[in-house]
Structure 1
Amino acid sequence: MIYWLGEPLLYLCFAVIIGWLAVIRAGETEIAARIPKPFVIMSIIGISLLSFLPVLRIVLFFAGNAGFVVSLKNVLFTLAEGKAYGWTLLFCLLMLSAMCIKPLLISIRKAGWGWWLCCILCLGLAVATNWFSHMTANYGPVGLLVHLIHFLSVMIWSGILIAAGWFKPVPSPWSGFLRWFHILAMIAMTLIIGSGWLMSAVLIPQLATAAVSSYGKALLLKHLLIIPLLLFSFINGFLVKSKLSQDHSYQPTSWIRAEAVLVLAIYIMTGYMNQQATPESQPDPPSGLVLQGHPSALLYLGLAIGCLAGLMAVYRRNKKAYLALPLSLVFTLASYQAVMLFIS
């Protein structure tokens, strides 16, 4: 359980740091100034601690025979997983040093050379953290590159959402922010969908058949969560911009936050999915799929469609986006149940 929950928290720490760096580069000085320095520091420390959990699992596996201290030493200095964590720890220490040295911190906040140094260190952290992903394990450097594109695109997009949703002054104009963020979000979403489709295609060639495995079920839930997330992106990217052109005082803060919460839900599902073996790597991978025209599936499908319509109605009636989050969850669960009723 701790390993599963540790991974989404690790993603959240990455998103906070990358989102902070992104709003600095974008010139959103009000947002960047309101993000507390201790918050960024705690995120860096969080990466160093949470990245240790996979190493700890290996250490505990061997500790019964060799003892904890000896196993820890062997894992850190012998196994590739331990060496990768060593790099993670080094990059985190360098970033913490940059945050504590005043001239460097000033350079970071002015998007100077200190900012570029932090970006390089973040890239190093991303490589070290994702070195043992399913894609890297199966396809080497090419798999790592695809996974990095997916990972960094999600972190940039969600990190900016977190920064704007919780640290943009209220009230304040949103038109300028959405003007550049909308373009960036569309690029990020294109990269996320493209790299995600590629990873799904190569890791699970028979996606429908794999839906009966733990990994496949988690992937299905993750994909279903993306549907209301795309609807939130459409609302924040197009409808909100249109409303702002008519009412400059409109504050879409709750909708930005709700979109970020949905991304966090996807973090959690991804964390669980990454703890499961891919169907093709299992000794007896699922090989059969029977389609069933179960009548209840249509009821669940109707409920799911109704939830999406309700989500749009919440926005049209100028309600807070927090009312739309339960509808997104019910949509995901109803759609999942509909799919599972169709297969056995």
Structure 2
Amino acid sequence: MNVFVPLTELITYLLFSILIGHVSLQFVSPEKKPSIHTSKRLLLSCVLGIILFTFGPLLQVVAYFGGSVGVAQTLFSVLFTFEIGKAWIAIVWCSILLWLAIYLESSKYIQAVLLFLMVLSIGYASHVASLSFWTGFTSHTVHFLAVTLWAGILIQVSWFSKDSTNWDRFLRWFTPFAVTCMIVILISGIMVMLFVVDFKSYINAWILPYGQMLLLKHISIIPLLVFAFINSVLVRKLRKKTGFDPRPWIKAESICLVITFFFTGVLGTLSPPHDITLTVKSEGAAKWVSNLLSSPIKLPVNLDITPSLQGAIAISFGVLFLIMIFLSFYKRKEPFLAVFFTICFITSTYLGLMTSIEIR
């Protein structure tokens, strides 16, 4: 279950992204985008997949409570009394209608409305919505929509485009669109985070598995910004001189985006530390952090960043790996080498930060 549920969260993000990207690009005129073909069978499979994989979090709740009152009774209770169950039922109904809309090739407006209702259901079932309904519901919905819009269009143009025609015209509107999405993602993401961890407790949260995944997610965003700069600014300059095909680099960016989705999926399965000291007292700290600190954890938790030789070396290597992403682009190396450098950057920067923390 510890592996299954994060996997379902990851796949859910991908399926929503493919569908939202497909529907969004229907509103863009043909001369402003590459020639794209997404098979109807894949789209229909994505809709059915959403029904299946959005059931993962419900299964986790049923497994948690099912031992005391029985699986059947727990499932009935979760579906009809828990917000997450009501949201899943709404997703199922909208998915059925969306499946029919895609199969019958009905209006793009109908498909867009149904997808938006499914996104609203995701926001309704979120943890932050249960803490403060309107603020939490709005911030999570906006965050999820902005992420899947940006990722969806990237996936469509990189994996399903036939060629790179109209690419310059595509970048003229997609670059400001992507920048807007990123700003919205950062603002709404901070709002979602502050429901669980405030700025003052951000470093203290690293003592817990939730804080570890939050840190990894934030680190993984940095190379995404590098790829976004390469694919929006540098690619445009290069195409003026040569007939450069940008699609492989967009594919590499989408793969890095999947890494961020993975951390997000794991994050959604962990207990949010509303009170870090109380959570450490009741559940204990992350084993990896306890071993790394090699000293007993004091309560209340008070961690701080202290410069260290190991940390400085690791973070320096992280910066070098970022530079190597740029160099691999300028040297026309395979873009998947840049994905490897991305993984190296995340690992090195993470180790650099973790070896620099000290218990106060």
Normalised by the size of structure 1, how large is the TM-score?
A: 0.91
Query: Which moved further from structure 2: 118-127 or 72-81?
Result: 72-81
Aligned to 2:303: 289
Query: Which moved further from structure 2: 254-263 or 76-85?
Result: 76-85
2:340 aligns with one of 294, 301, 326: 326
1:4 aligns with 2:20: no
Answer whether contact 2:122 2:141 (CA < 8 A) is retained: no
Higher helix share: 1
2:218 aligns with one of 204, 223, 226: 223
Aligned to 1:68: 71
Aligned to 1:110: none
Mapping 1:245-284, distance limit 5 Å = 245-247=240-242, 249-281=243-275, 283-284=278-279
Query: Which moved further from structure 2: 274-283 or 207-216?
Result: 274-283
Change in CA separation of 1:77 and 1:287 when aligned onto 2, cut-off 3 Å: same
2:60 aligns with one of 57, 74, 86: 57
Answer whether contact 2:17 2:148 (CA < 8 A) is retained: yes
Measure the CA separation in 2 of the matches of 1:33 and 1:163: 7
Indicate the RMSD between aligned Cα atoms, in angstroms.
1.9
Post-superposition shift, 1:140? 1.1
Measure the CA separation in 1 of the matches of 2:190 and 2:68: 42
Change in CA separation of 1:297 and 1:153 when aligned onto 2, cut-off 3 Å: same
Query: Which moved further from structure 2: 60-69 or 83-92?
Result: 60-69
Gaps of 5+ in 2: 281-299
Measure the CA separation in 2 of the matches of 1:330 and 1:299: 14
Aligned to 1:111: none
Normalised by the size of structure 2, how large is the TM-score?
A: 0.87
Post-superposition shift, 1:64? 3.1
- Residue 245 of structure 2 aligns to a residue whose secondary structure is coil
Aligned to 1:150: 143
Change in CA separation of 1:340 and 1:181 when aligned onto 2, cut-off 3 Å: same
Post-superposition shift, 1:159? 0.3
Residues 291-341 of structure 1, C-alpha deviations (whole Å, 9 max, x = no match): 433211111011111101111110111222111011011011100111111
Answer whether contact 2:34 2:166 (CA < 8 A) is retained: no
1:305 aligns with 2:307: no
1:235 aligns with 2:238: no
- Residue 349 of structure 2 aligns to a residue whose secondary structure is helix
Post-superposition shift, 1:118? 1.4
Query: Which moved further from structure 2: 72-81 or 210-219?
Result: 72-81
Mapping 1:110-129, distance limit 5 Å = 114-129=107-122
Measure the CA separation in 2 of the matches of 1:11 and 1:219: 17
1:81 aligns with 2:78: no
Answer whether contact 2:151 2:257 (CA < 8 A) is retained: yes
Gaps of 5+ in 1: 108-113
Aligned to 1:191: 184
Measure the CA separation in 2 of the matches of 1:62 and 1:196: 30
Post-superposition shift, 1:207? 1.0
Change in CA separation of 1:35 and 1:342 when aligned onto 2, cut-off 3 Å: same
